[in-house]
């Protein structure tokens, strides 16, 4: 089966690098399944899990917190503010972040705080989702 390279990179580090058969992401305009020989593309991503299918049926899941996907000829690069594999996620920290964000949302202050808390909540839920799989 033909394959391509997948890299997930944050400002801090390279989180993931593997050869894949398929990558599924949640773009701002909907779900995207990238197969080999996909046309070049750059599009923003939602805060959501990214799924990578590899040879031998292995599936990896990465919590990707926004950013962009760039599909090149023989490589897919995901650039995100933060991203973690399930094994690197501190569940207690994500639970605490979720609670903090929920408390802020319940307090309902101004618009900017609301959006920020909403994004923090999405990041925490994204992390918790992939650790629960």
Residue 113 touches ligand ATP, criterion: CB under 6 A: no
Alpha-carbon distance of 32 to 124, in angstroms, equals 22
Structure tokens at 17: 């690098």
- By CB under 6 A, residue 93 contacts ligand ATP: yes
Contact code string over 41-80 relative to ligand ATP, x by CB under 6 A: ------------------------x---------------
CB 49 within 8 A of CB 125: no
Min separation Cβ 99 and ligand ATP, Å:
10
Bridge-partner residues for 59, per DSSP?
A: 53
Stretch that binds ligand ATP, among 1-9, 18-26, 43-51, 83-91 (CB under 6 A): 83-91
Dump the DSSP string for 77-91: EEE-S-EEEGGG--H
- Interface with ligand ATP includes 89 (CB under 6 A)? yes
């Amino acid at each position: 089966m033909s394959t391509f390279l997948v890299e997930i990179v944050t400002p801090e580090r390279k989180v993931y690098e593997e050869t894949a058969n398929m990558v599924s992401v949640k773009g701002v305009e909907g779900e995207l399944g990238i197969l080999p020989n996909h046309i070049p593309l750059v599009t923003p991503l939602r805060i959501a899990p990214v799924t990578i299918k590899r040879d031998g049926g292995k599936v990896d899941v990465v919590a990707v917190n926004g950013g962009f996907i760039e599909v090149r000829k023989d490589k897919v690069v995901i650039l995100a503010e933060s991203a973690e594999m399930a094994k690197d996620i501190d569940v207690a920290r994500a639970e605490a972040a979720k609670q903090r964000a929920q408390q802020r949302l319940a307090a309902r202050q101004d618009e900017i705080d609301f959006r920020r808390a909403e994004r923090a909540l999405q990041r925490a839920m994204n992390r918790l989702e992939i650790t629960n799989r």
